[in-house]
Copies of this chain bind each other. A is one copy, B any other.
């Protein structure tokens, strides 16, 4: 078939689905021995990992909704499509194992952009030793849409949920909040230095906190955990609702990078409220029983990112922030579906 000759054509519609899948496959490492049937048959066949339960998550990236191809390079779209799913597994304390891809491609999508996306996906997959066992490609009259399903494993009693917090538990967050949102603003203002900013990097290539999640679950350090895909405010409400507690956080303790704060303030906004309601951070928010605080030691030292204690769970079931001594309710995050 003439398409198999190797010379790249302009757009994906010059290729067969099989050719395009081959372009992804050639970026993957050799199949692990638990993969009994891989890409190319009707379905993949996989040997489950003994003595583990499975953790499954699906998430989508839609151009114009979650990313904008105008300023997000293809490789970052590929990275992000997998990263947002891995972040969900991190929040459960799971070790990721495999992924399935489903992409809807505009007919005029360029093959070098397709390759870039595959590069971003494959690079992140390979860093986390995840194998892509199957996929589906279709065209669409709409925007680029990348769906990823990931499956990981965890010991049955070590899976973390949102529902285990009790009044008195301390609340921690990893890394910083609002950084990705600040990076997005830099990107949108598209100055020359935008490509080097670490904030931009936080937006473009969020690092799923897999290692931290694993350490929290294996040590049984966390009583509840959630990832911050939709922002800190939303995460606090999720834990509060699922656990049947309230939460009170302290403005002074929030890890907001000074550069991010300046970017928000320059736009005459309340920087703290912007940072706690901004999405895309993909940090972990979790609760720790005070007498188990020592279990946090290893995660704090080797989890790959600083941890900040930002507040406490309360009997009273409201979600609040203390600002200059005054208690203020935190409204639920952006919850209309996007």
Binding site of A, secondary structure by majority: helix, strand, loop or mixed?
A: strand
Cβ of A151 to closest chain B Cβ, rounded Å: 8
A305 at the interface (CB under 8 A from B): no
Out of B42, B47, B52, B226, name the residue touching A156 (CB < 8 Å). B47
The answer on a CB contact under 8 Å between B136 and A100 is: no
Stretch at the interface among A140-148, A177-185, A256-264, A295-303: A140-148
Residue in chain B with minimal CB distance to A15: B337
Interface hub of A53, A100, A136, A242 (most chain B Cβ within 10 A): A136
Copies, count: 2
Residues of B within 8 A of A36 (CB): 53, 156, 159
A12 at the interface (CB under 8 A from B): yes
The answer on a CB contact under 8 Å between B53 and A45 is: yes
A253 at the interface (CB under 8 A from B): no
A91 at the interface (CB under 8 A from B): yes
The answer on a CB contact under 8 Å between B41 and A92 is: yes
A43 CA to B95 CA, complexed, in Å: 13
Interface hub of A20, A62, A163 (most chain B Cβ within 10 A): A62
A94 at the interface (CB under 8 A from B): yes
Q: A104-B145, A147-B147, A149-B58 are in contact. Are A138 and B338 (CB under 8 A)?
A: yes
The answer on a CB contact under 8 Å between A43 and B94 is: yes
Q: A16-B335, A36-B159, A161-B41 are in contact. Are A142 and B141 (CB under 8 A)?
A: yes
22 A-B residue pairs with Cβ-Cβ distance under 8 Å, sorted by A, are: A36-B53, A37-B159, A40-B242, A41-B161, A42-B88, A42-B226, A43-B56, A45-B54, A46-B54, A48-B52, A56-B151, A58-B147, A62-B140, A65-B140, A66-B138, A102-B147, A137-B337, A139-B337, A140-B145, A141-B142, A142-B142, A149-B149
Pairs A-B, 4 closest by C-beta atoms: A142-B142, A17-B337, A43-B57, A48-B48
Other A-B pairs beyond A58-B100, A62-B140, 10, CB < 8 Å: A13-B336, A17-B337, A42-B92, A42-B227, A43-B152, A45-B54, A45-B55, A47-B53, A47-B156, A142-B145
